[in-house]
């Protein structure tokens, strides 16, 4: 979908993330975001890796298996998620497109067990119907049209408020365009949109999982439930911004 990149100046947070990423700085906000978001987003989806194991993979590309056996896909998807966050940081401010969605999914699922399945499309829309929390989602043949309508409604070249970003996320998750990885891709998209619009980003942690899923289900009737969950997560992230002395609005 064509569009013009958001031309407003980089937010202080995005500028810091890009600088720390480029200079491979350890112990800063980039380091913190990589570990917190990767651990939490994967944990919500069933990863058994601990936060310490996630940190070790990021910092040293090694794994401590002393806690017991480790699933290979958990390790691969953790490493892939680090690269996906890098892609979000690199492309923040560019209009959200179908290609951008597919790129994130491709990064997340490459070299996983799913990638070896003939019916599983890595970096492309689903081929087999799926459900989310027992609820039906958009049929595979209807996904391209549904995503096109979502992006047209969202106006991806514009800046957005938190409520608009969350609304887009809910619509994306209801479409569930990919065979697997929709939750993680959706939360990565929210990160990128927050960075592009100078909205304080947030990490949905495992202890918020129940509130998050309830908020997704009840968005139409009680949008305040998911909004308050995300705002509570924002407040946690603001503590990191205060610690690293990164200014923010709101």
Task: Output the average pLDDT for the chain.
Answer: 95
Residue 49 CA: distances (Å) to CA of 24, 63, 87: 24, 10, 23
According to DSSP, the residues that pair with 131 across neighbouring strands are 136
- Was 154 annotated as part of a binding site? no
Distance CA 106, CA 121 (A): 9
- For the chain, domain boundaries: 12-243
Q: Is the pLDDT of residue 55 over 70?
A: yes
- At residue 9 the predicted structure's pLDDT band, cuts being 50, 70 and 90, is confident
Whether residue 42 contacts residue 35, with contact meaning beta carbons closer than 8 Å, is answered with no
Residue of 91, 169, 176, 240 with catalytic role = 176
User: Has 169 been annotated as catalytic?
Assistant: no
Closest CA to 162 of 230, 210, 222: 230
- Was 83 annotated as part of a binding site? no
- At residue 1 the predicted structure's pLDDT band, cuts being 50, 70 and 90, is very low
Please give the model's pTM, rounded to 2 decimal places: 0.95
Instruction: Enter the tokens of residue 139.
Output: 């049929």
pLDDT of 5: 53
Instruction: Judge residue 130's burial from the number of C-beta atoms within 10 Å of its C-beta, 0-12 exposed, 13-18 middle, 19 or more buried.
Output: middle
The predicted model gives 57-82 an average pLDDT of 94
Whether residue 202 contacts residue 191, with contact meaning beta carbons closer than 8 Å, is answered with no
pLDDT of 165: 98
Q: Mind listing the pLDDT tens digit for each residue in 138-197? A: 999 999 999 999 999 999 999 999 999 999 999 999 999 999 999 999 999 999 999 999
The predicted model gives 61-79 an average pLDDT of 93
Q: Is the pLDDT of residue 134 over 90?
A: no
Superfamily of segment(s) 12-243: Fido-like domain (1.10.3290.10)
pLDDT of 136: 95
pLDDT of 8: 62
- Was 27 annotated as part of a binding site? no
């Amino acid at each position: 979908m064509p569009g013009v990149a958001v031309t407003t100046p980089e937010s202080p947070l995005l500028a810091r993330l890009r600088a720390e990423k480029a200079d491979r700085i350890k112990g800063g906000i980039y380091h913190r975001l990589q570990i917190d978001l990767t651990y939490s987003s994967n944990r919500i989806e069933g990863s058994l890796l601990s936060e310490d194991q996630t940190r070790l993979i990021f910092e040293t590309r090694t794994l401590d298996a002393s806690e017991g056996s480790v699933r290979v896909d958990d390790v691969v998807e953790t490493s892939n998620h680090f690269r996906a966050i890098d892609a979000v940081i690199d492309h923040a401010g560019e209009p959200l497109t179908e290609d951008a969605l597919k790129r994130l999914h491709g990064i997340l699922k490459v070299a996983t067990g799913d990638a070896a399945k003939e019916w599983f499309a890595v970096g492309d829309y689903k081929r087999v119907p799926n459900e989310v929390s027992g609820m039906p989602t958009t049929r595979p043949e209807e996904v391209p049209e549904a995503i096109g309508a979502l992006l047209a409604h969202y106006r991806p070249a514009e800046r957005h408020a938190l409520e608009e970003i969350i609304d887009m996320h809910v619509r994306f998750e209801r479409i569930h365009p990919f065979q697997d990885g929709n939750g993680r891709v959706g939360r990565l998209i929210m990160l990128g949109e927050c960075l592009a619009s100078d909205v304080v980003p947030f990490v949905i942690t495992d202890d918020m999982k129940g509130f998050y899923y309830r908020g997704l289900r009840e968005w139409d009737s009680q949008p305040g439930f998911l909004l308050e969950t995300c705002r509570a997560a924002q407040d946690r992230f603001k503590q990191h911004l205060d610690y690293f002395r990164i200014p923010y609005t709101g």
